[in-house]
Amino acid sequence: MVVVEEETYIYRLEVVVVETCTCIQGVVVVGTCTYMEVEEEIYTCRVVGEEIRTCMVVEGETGICTEAVEEAGTCMVAAEEIDTCMVAVEEIGTCMVVVEEIDTCKVAVEEIDTCMEAVVETGTCTEVEEETDTCTEVVEETGTCMVAAEEIGTCMVAVEEIGTYKVVVEEIGTCMVAVVEIDTCMVAVEETDICKVAVVETGTCMVVVEETDTCMVGVEETDTYTVVGEEIGICRVVVVETDICMVGVEETDTYKAAVVETGTCMVAGEETHTCMVVGEKCTYSSDHLQ
């Protein structure tokens, strides 16, 4: 359980993410930015939908379940569709899966443009089946589509779409799954150690970053990357270190990564255990917030 007591602690750890006047429960407006006060966490009830411009983001909700939350057995499901964006989160036991609830909260079907994606929960693991045009079978390459599913330890799912977008999903340990595909967007999800998840989309952008336990997301500098903390155009990348947890970001030519909001992009942070994802969209620099 994480208790936020001091205002300076809120500023340092939880510089958020969303625009003013689009606040949800548990978000306090401060100046031109918003800050979220996290008082406690509930593992069986932590889904909320928030609309920002043309996209939908799902963040962890502490306390009680609010907004578009449906309870079915032990599952908490939230499904919202805003224009071309739809995200649903279902929590089953210790696993969190990006799904839309069907029957017993184990099957998800999300259709965006010509792509169909089904996530099925089986035991402690998940299987991902992706269908695009004539590509229907797992681990079968047909045309421009290739789908692969593998198990490592208790859970691992990997799906790769070649063509207009690419999705990579991995599960390790406590099984965290995040899969979002929108048009020509690229989504990348990685989990190491206990859990580390980052989902980034461009176009009608969506960013979802989740950190648990001793996770750390770093950054790299290459010919197509820029280092964190450097301002690019109207985007500023922020890196904040919180105890044993540090969240980093990266920018490439094709997408903006975690904790960056620009244009129609948005950022969502979910706090788990001792880690917090930090982002900003302010009229002043990040130095003012730290």
> Nearest-CA neighbor of 167 among 220, 217, 128?
128
pLDDT tens digits for 196-208?
Answer: 233 333 222 223 3
**Cα dihedral sign for 63, 86, 183, 99?**
positive
Q: What does the DSSP 8-state code read for residue 118?
A: E
- Give the whole-angstrom CA distance, residue 199 versus residue 208: 5
Give the mean model confidence (pLDDT) for residues 80-99: 30
Identity of the amino acid at 196: K
Assign 116 a pLDDT band (cuts: 50, 70, 90): very low
Name the band, by pLDDT with cuts 50, 70 and 90, for residue 111.
very low
Domain-located, residue 75 = yes
pLDDT interval class at 276 (50, 70, 90): very low
pLDDT band at 289 (very low <50, low <70, confident <90, very high): very low
> What is the predicted pLDDT for the residue at 42?
25
What pLDDT score does 286 carry?
31
Tell me, yes or no, whether 28 lies in a domain: yes
Residue 129 belongs to a domain: yes
pLDDT value for 148: 30
Question: Looking at the domain assignment, is residue 1 inside a domain?
Answer: no
Q: What is the mean pLDDT of residues 92-105?
A: 30
Supply angle C-alpha 60, 87, 179, rounded to 5. Answer: 95
pLDDT for the residue numbered 14: 31
Whether the model clears a pTM of 0.85, i.e. scores above it, the answer is: no
pLDDT at site 283: 26
* pLDDT tens-digit series, residues 40-81: 322 222 222 332 222 223 333 322 222 323 332 222 333 332
Does residue 116 sit within a domain? yes
For residue 161, what pLDDT is reported? Answer: 33
- What is the pLDDT at residue 227? 28
Name the band, by pLDDT with cuts 50, 70 and 90, for residue 264: very low
Does residue 2 belong to any structural domain of this protein? no
How confident is the model over 225-255, as pLDDT tens digits? 222 233 222 222 333 322 222 233 333 222 2
Q: How many CB atoms lie within 10 A of CB 227?
A: 14
Q: What's the mean pLDDT in 22-31?
A: 30
pLDDT in tens, 129-146: 333 322 233 323 322 222
Number of domains in the chain: 1
- pLDDT at residue 38, rounded to an integer: 35
Higher pLDDT, 272 or 248: 248
pLDDT of residue 256: 29
Burial classification of residue 153, based on how many CB atoms lie within 10 Å of its CB (0-12 exposed, 13-18 middle, 19 or more buried):
exposed
pLDDT for 142 = 26
- Give the model's pLDDT for residue 122: 33
Q: What percent of the chain has pLDDT over 70?
A: 0
Tell me how crowded residue 81 is: count the other CB atoms within 10 A of its CB: 14
Q: 35 lies in which domain range?
A: 7-288
Cα angle value 219/220/223 (rounded, 5°) = 145
- H/E run at residue 56: strand 55-59
The answer to whether residue 32 sits within a structural domain is yes
How far is residue 77 from each of residues 17, 107, 193, 264, 265, measured CA to CA in Å? 23, 12, 26, 25, 24
What pLDDT is stored for residue 261 in this prediction? 32
Residue 184 lies in a domain: yes
